[in-house]
DNA sequence: CCAAGCAGTGAACCATGATTCACTTCTTCT
DNA sequence: AGAAGAAGTGAATCATGGTTCACTGCTTGG
């Protein structure tokens, strides 16, 4: 048996695969998913179109991975920040919201692509996963807050989803066209919004 | 000059156009935008494909109109409900949120299609308009609340956008797959969330 | 060095679905 | 009735862009 894949060739293969994903990600960050066709990505990665298909079964799978690669570190940061054991729930939410917003505003095109751009079904399902991830991260904090008596018992999943949606929607406009207000003011507004939206134990239900 | 368009033929033409839009809308309500191709819509309307193009310059234009026709009455209801002159801002927001949620939950597939389904650019820009419409409706209430001293001064546009996003995101899951909780409970949670999220004058900033 | 296996190539291929257009049918008016 | 203009038809056409595959060239172990 004259040929065996070896460590070196494996590494080479992985490097190529990686170059493809990186090129695709760069393209998405530059011009969104709409601009990222297979031919464009291949050219950008310095490989032939066929090579892309040697590493990924389809365009959808490639971009699902691209989405994941862009999304995971973001989610990880939010999970990390929100998981802090000690501060009250409201503060943990505030920290998570702030981290989320700052990072999104630092890479507007990419953030828009990840949050709001129309994408094909394979990527859309990854996006759904991501949203669930954020929702669950927030919900965990809310559950902790309820357990600690800081928050009234409530439907934490729904409230967490609402927080996620609030951030996405409030950021999407500014992500594409910077609005008049400063970035700092926007972040402050959203942090405060999300904190006040929580069903604080001491808060009265209005009306 | 042997032929002149008359009232009867105009009406006939309008009726055909209307049938096409209605068929397209029905298709979207049944299976989303992804299921609504020109051929399918034409068959459903009982006309030939070419006829569609006699009434609309492109698929995008057709579906932009479909989107508008589905969206306008919804937005009108929310505007109507939120414009009530008399009740405090928080109550007006609550009424608007309740109306929005109930109507969305009454037509889940359509609501999902309108709020969250990936669509082509022409429709996406209509969607953007719609969101701005909702945001402005909410923002008007918030502005009134600030003017009346019920709410602290704040970035009402951003907060209004956040409310819109919160509703959309919190509803999208339940729209496709009914979750365990009842519809009533969901509506109640969201109404309360949106009310508490407002920067009430008497509320203290937490943390 | 040779055989075998695998990564890389890219022009050709193909699937989908929007769009066209030559033709038919209908309506109006003289 | 018949001319003219307009609406309706739907098979053929076209555009886009994802996917394939026969071929080239490199890497490995005998």
Averages of pLDDT over runs of 10 residues in chain B (207 residues) are: 84 98 98 98 98 98 98 98 96 98 96 96 97 98 98 97 98 73 93 97 58
User: B189–A158: do the CB atoms touch at under 8 Å?
Assistant: yes
Q: How far is CA A114 from the centre of its chain?
A: 7
| B189–A155 CB contact, under 8 Å | yes
DSSP assignment letter at A46: T
Query: Among all strands, which nt has the closest C1' to B8 (CA)?
Result: C27
Please identify which residue in the block is written with the tokens 């920290």. A95
A195 contacts on B by Cβ (under 8 Å): 205-207
With CB atoms and an 8 Å threshold, state whether A207 touches B164. Answer: no
* pLDDT at residue B206 in the model: 46
The predicted pLDDT at position A175 comes to 66
Lowest mean pLDDT among A4-13, A27-36, B97-106, B189-198: A4-13
pLDDT at A7: 87
With CA atoms as reference, report the closest residue to B140 among B77, B78, B203, B82: B82
- Whether residue B162 and residue A173 make contact (CB cut-off 8 A), yes or no, is no
Contact criterion met (CB below 8 Å) for A108 and A171:
no
Angstrom distance, A47 CA to D24 C1' = 15
Q: Looking at beta carbons, which residues of chain B come within 8 Å of A118?
A: 118-121, 124
User: What pLDDT score does B175 carry?
Assistant: 66
Lowest mean pLDDT among A33-37, A115-119, A174-178: A174-178
Tell which strand C nucleotides have any atom below 7 Å from a protein Cβ.
2-12, 17-22, 27-30
Question: What was the pLDDT predicted at A37?
Answer: 98
Distance between CA A196 and CA A203 in Å, rounded?
A: 9
Give the CA distances from residue A206 to residues A111, B167, B188, in Å, rounded to whole numbers and listed in that order: 35, 19, 13
The maximal CA–CA distance of chain A, rounded, in angstroms, is 80
Nucleotides of D under 7 A from a protein CB: 2-12, 17-22, 27-30
Is-contact B105 B168, C-beta < 8 A?
A: no
Give Cβ neighbours of residue B23 (< 8 Å, ≥ 6 apart).
Answer: B41, B42, B44, B45, B46
* Mean pLDDT lowest among A39-48, A173-182, B80-89, B197-206: A173-182
Question: Is residue A206's pLDDT more than 50?
Answer: no
**How many Å apart are CA B139 and CA B137, to the nearest integer?**
5
Residue predicted with more confidence, A3 or B164: B164
B1 CA, C27 C1': Å apart: 13
Q: What does pTM read for this prediction?
A: 0.93
pLDDT surpasses 50 at A207: no
In this prediction, residue B178 carries a pLDDT of: 62
- How does DSSP assign A85-125, residue by residue? SSS-HHHHHHHHHHHHHHHHHHSHHHHHHHHTS---HHHHH
Q: Which nucleotide is nearest to A39 (CA to C1')?
A: D17
Partners of A127 on chain B (C-beta within 8 Å) are: none
Are the C-beta atoms of residues B137 and B167 closer than 8 Å to each other?
A: no
Q: Which of B151, B124, B126 is nearest to B139 (CA)?
A: B151
Q: Answer whether residue A77 shows pLDDT above 60.
A: yes
């Amino acid at each position: 048996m004259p040929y065996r894949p070896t460590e070196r060739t494996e590494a080479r293969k992985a490097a190529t695969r990686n170059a493809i994903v990186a090129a695709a990600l760069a393209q998405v960050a530059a011009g969104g998913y709409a601009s990222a066709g297979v031919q464009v990505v291949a050219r950008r990665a310095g490989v032939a179109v066929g090579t892309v298909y040697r590493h990924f079964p389809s365009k959808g799978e490639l971009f699902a991975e691209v989405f994941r690669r862009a999304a995971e570190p973001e989610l990880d940061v939010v999970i990390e920040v929100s998981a802090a054991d000690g501060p009250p729930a409201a503060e943990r939410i505030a920290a998570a919201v702030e981290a989320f917003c700052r990072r999104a505003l630092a890479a507007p095109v990419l953030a828009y692509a990840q949050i709001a751009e129309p994408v094909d079904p394979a990527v859309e399902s990854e996006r759904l996963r991501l949203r669930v991830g954020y929702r669950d991260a927030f919900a965990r904090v809310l559950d902790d807050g309820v357990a600690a008596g800081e928050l009234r018992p409530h439907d934490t999943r729904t409230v967490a989803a609402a927080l996620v949606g609030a951030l996405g929607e409030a950021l999407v406009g500014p992500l594409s066209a910077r609005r008049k207000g400063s970035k700092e003011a926007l972040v402050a507004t959203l942090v405060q919004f999300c904190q006040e939206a929580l069903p604080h134990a001491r808060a009265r239900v209005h009306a």
